[in-house]
Chains A and B, each alone.
Chain A
Amino acid sequence: MKRRRVLQTILGAPAAAAATPSQAAQSPATTSEQPSKLATVALDAAAEGVHRFFSPAQYTALEKLADLLIPAFGERPSARAAGAVEFLDFLIGESPAPVRQLYQGGLDRLVRENFTQLGAEEAGRLLAPLKEPWSYAGPVDSFSKFLVEAKIALYQATLNSREFAEASSRGRRGASGMNYYWRSLE
C-alpha cells in the first residue's frame, strides 16, 4: 500500500510547518536548557506494517472481504486503501484468544469456500448473514458472528485511518477524530 509520507511534530507544530528531517539536522545547536521542538514522523506514515498474524490465504480472503464490505465511497477511501486490512492483521494478532479464533475460523471458512475466486452473486450468498435483522445479542453461529465483527472493525479502522482524515479534510468536512489523549500518570 502506498502511504503518503506525512510529517508531524509531537510537540504541537502543525504538520505543514514541520521541518523535514534533513532541515532539522542542519539547525544550529541551541544553548537553551529546553530541548528543541524536533520534527518527527509517525511510524505508519513512513513505513509499511509487517504482516505477521494471518496466513497468506487468510490475509487475501480478508482483503476481498474488505473490498466488498467497505468499498471506496465518494471521496472516502476503501478499507483496503485506508490500511484497515493491514491494521487488523496487527490488532487481531494482539487480541485475546477468543477474538483471534473467531477471525481465523471465519477466514478459514472463506478460504475453504474459495471466496477470492467467487463472483458477486456467489460471494453475496456467503455474506447473507450480514443482511439479517439486528439483534442485541448478535448472531449465534461463529461464522455469522465473524462477519458482523469484521464489518464493524473494518468500518471503524477505515474511519480512524490517516487516509480517511486526509480525505475528509480535502472534502472540507473538518478535522475528525481529534481528542485529548491522557498520558501515563505514573
Chain B
Amino acid sequence: MARQSEHDVVIIGSGAGGGMAAHTLTKLGVRCLMLDAGPLVDMDKDRTLVAVHDLPFQGFGRPGRFPHVTQASEFDANMWADEKQNPYSYAAGEPYYWVRMRLIGGKTLRWGRASWRLSDFEFRGKDHDGFGENWPLRLADLAPYYDRVEPMFHVTGRNEGLPQLPDGKILLDESRESLATQRFVDSCKILGIHTTKARRATGSLASSANLLLPDALATGKLTLMPNAVVRQLSVASDTGRVNGVHFVDRRSRREFHVKAKAVVVSASCLESTRILLNSASRQHPNGLGNSSGVLGHYLFDQFYVKNVITCVVPEARRGKGPRNLIGGGGYVVRFRNIDKKEKSFIRGYTYDFGSGGTPSPRQLPLYGEAMLKEIEELRGTTFSMTTMGEVLPRFENHVRINKDVKDAWGIPVLHISQKYGDNEHAMAKDSMEMAEAMCRGAGFEVLTKHSTFVPPGESIHELGSCRMGRDPNTSVLNGFNQSHDVKNLFVVDGSSFVSGGAQNPTLTILALSMRASEYLADQLRTGNL
C-alpha cells in the first residue's frame, strides 16, 4: 500500500494554536498533517449523565490521582492527562502545577472562553517601564487578526474604548446588571476604576474541535492523526532545516516518522519547548533553534489569587430582597500603572467577579446546626472576586530536560522551575486591599479575604520559554513565530509570548497562529523556505 509520508506542513497539536494553523493553511491550499498525542473524543459516546453518589469515589475522585490538577473532578478525570504516564519534575518545595489535556482539541475542550485582546501596554511593555523586552509586533499588527478571530469564536462582551483593554469585533452584551453588581460598578467608578462585562466566546462548546478542525477537514487538505506522541523533530544533515517528525503510537508504542517541508509546533506552551529541547542534534546541540540559549527560559504565567475576597450582600440573606438583587458578574479592567506609576510594583492586574454563590463551610467558623443554618441563610448571597495578575518574564524561571525521568513512551521529561517574585507579591497584596475598598464601597460584608497565590502553573496560562523577538541573540522566534535559526520551523502557541499581561491568552494565541500561518503559506508559495 502506498503511504503518503511526506506533507507540506506537519502541525503538532490540535488545540487553539494548532487548530487555527490547520484552518488557515488548508484554506490557502496547503496540505497538512496534524499530529496529536491524544485520542478523538465523541461527546455522545464518551460521556453519560451520572449522579454524584453513583461515582466510585462519591465525587471525591480517586485519592492521589491528580496531585497537580485541582480543576479535575471525578466526573471529568478521564479527560485530563494522566500524571503518572506524563511525569515532570521540580525542586523540592517549589511545586509547579502543570495542567494538560491530551485530546483532539486540546484544552479548548474545557477552556473558560474569556477572550481579551492584549494591548500595547503588553506589546510595548518595555517602553512603559523599562523592564524586559518589547514584542516584535504591535497591537496594530495583530488587530486585523483579532478582528477575524473574534467573530469565528462568537465573542460577546462590551467595548469600553480603553487603551489597556482594546475593543473587539464582538457581539454586544447589553444585559442589565443586577442591583448588587450595579452597586459594585458604582463603587468602582468612585475609585476611578473601570469595569466591563465578561468578554467570552459563546456556545456550549467553543473549541478547535468544532470551530476550526471541521472546516479544515472539509477542504480535503487536512489529515488528522490522533494518538501520535511526538518524540522529536528530525533535521537535514546538510542544511540543518527540519525535514520531519519522529513520533510514537500512544497505544502500541510503535515508532513512526513523517517527512515535511515545514513544521508548525503547537503542542501547548511547555510541551512545545520540551519537543524542541528534545530535538537537539549535531547542528543544534542545545536544542532545535536554540542558538540564542534562551529556549526554555523566560517562563511565566498569570498569577491567580482565587477568591481574593468573598463578601455577603446583606440584603440577600435568607433569600430576601428583590429578584434582581443579585446575580451575574463581570471584569475589573487593569487600573494600575496606566496613568501614573505605582511605587511598589510595575505592570498590573485585573479581577473576575461574580455574585449569587454560597459560602463554603470552610469559610465559616462554625460547625453543627449553627453552621448548617448559616449556610442556608447565606445561600445565593455571595459576591466574590479573583485576581489575575501579570507575572514578569525572568530568565531564571525556566524549563530544562530531565534525562533521568522518562514518560510512558520513553521520552525525557521536563524539569520546571518557576517562582513568583517581589513584584507579584506586592501586586497580590495591593489587589486584596483594593478589592476590599471596592466591596465595602458597595455596602457588602467581607466574609474572607487573602492574598495567597495558587502555585505557578495552576492558572493554566503558562507562557513564554520559546519567545519571539527582533534580536536572534535574545529570542527564539521572529515576529511571525518563525525560528530565527530554522526557517521552516514555526511555534504558534503560548510559548511564543514575550509578556502576557493579565488577559487570558487564548484569543492572542489564535490571532498569532492565524498571522503566522498566512505568512508560512506565503513563504511556501514563493519558495522562500
Contacts and interface: CB of A to CB of B under 8 A. Distances in A.
Verify that A and B bind, or say they do not: yes
A90 to B, nearest CB: 9
Contacts of B41: 185
Contacts of A136: 448, 450, 452
Nearest to B360: A152
Contacts of A42: 53-54
B78 A70 contact: no
B43 to A, nearest CB: 9
B58 A157 contact: yes
A185 B39 contact: yes
Most buried by A among B54, B63, B73, B75: B54
Given A95-B64, A134-B362, A134-B363, A179 B369 contact: no
Given A71-B369, A136-B452, A96 B64 contact: yes
Contact of B366 (A99, A130, A175, A183): A130
A184 interface: yes
A69 B372 CA distance: 9
Given A71-B369, A160-B58, A182 B63 contact: no
B362 A181 contact: no
Contact of A134 (B63, B76, B448): B448
B79 A182 contact: yes
A15 B39 CA distance: 33
B527 to A, nearest CB: 42
Interface in B69-85: 73-79
- Size class of A's contact patch? 35 or more
Contacts of A130: 365-367
Interface stretch (B44-52, B167-175, B193-201): B44-52
A130 B365 CA distance: 6
B365 A185 contact: no
Nearest to A130: B367
B57 A68 contact: no
A157 B341 CA distance: 49
A162 B365 contact: no
Given A69-B367, A73-B369, A183 B62 contact: no
B46 A96 contact: no
Contact of A152 (B50, B73, B361, B366): B361
Contacts of A91: 57-58, 60, 63
Contact of B60 (A12, A156, A185): A156
Contacts of A133: 365
B450 A185 contact: no
Interface string A159-175: 01110110000000001
A132 interface: yes
12 contacts: A73-B373, A73-B376, A91-B58, A99-B63, A134-B363, A151-B362, A153-B60, A164-B53, A177-B51, A181-B74, A182-B47, A182-B75
Interface of A: 8, 12, 42, 68-71, 73, 76, 87, 91, 94-96, 99, 127, 130-137, 148, 151-153, 155-157, 160-162, 164-165, 175, 177-186
